[in-house]
Amino acid sequence: MLFAFSCNKNTHFSSEIWKKSGGENLTLDTRNRMVKDLIESQILLGKTEQNIINLIGEPSKVNRPEADSIKYYQVQEIYSWNIDPDELLFLKITFNECQISKKVEKFITK
């Protein structure tokens, strides 16, 4: 008998689970496991900001010069021994001049 095990922790995107996985749950990898599916399925491409808010909630309040054309959605906070996070993972969504999403990618700060 042959058994196959997979370490692949990717999960299909669920709007309900994504929205429940914010706030104090950002230390868990729930959202991070859905990012690959969100990007590869292109479910967020060609959508208005309001359509995206309906699917994944409000963007993070990030003060950046391109705030109108790029929105960041917090995915996960990664900690080690420090009280400050070692890494912050975001879903970065770029909008065109008509405010329609044209690019979705993972963005990591260190």
Query: Could you tell me the residue range of the domain that residue 57 belongs to?
Result: 15-109
* 74 belongs to a structural domain: yes
Residue 36 inside a domain? The answer is: yes
Residue at 8 is within a domain: no
Cβ–Cβ under 8 Å, residues 76 and 29: yes
Q: Number of folded domains in the chain?
A: 1
Does position 106 have pLDDT exceeding 70, yes or no? yes
What's CA 64's distance to the chain center, in Å? 18
Residue at 38 is within a domain: yes
Domain membership of residue 2 (yes or no) is no
CATH number at 22 reads 3.30.1450
Q: What is the pLDDT of residues 36-87, one digit of tens each?
A: 999 999 999 999 999 999 999 999 887 666 677 999 998 888 777 777 767 8
pLDDT at position 8, please?
Answer: 54
Q: Which of 19-23, 55-59, 86-90 has the highest mean pLDDT?
A: 55-59
The reply to whether the predicted model has a pTM over 0.85 is no
Q: Could you tell me if residue 91 is inside a domain?
A: yes
**Do 94 and 102 contact (CB within 8 A), yes or no?**
yes
77 occurs within a structural domain: yes
Give the E-state strand segments of the chain in sequence order.
70-78, 87-95, 101-109
Q: For the chain, how far is it from start to end, CA to CA, in angstroms?
A: 45
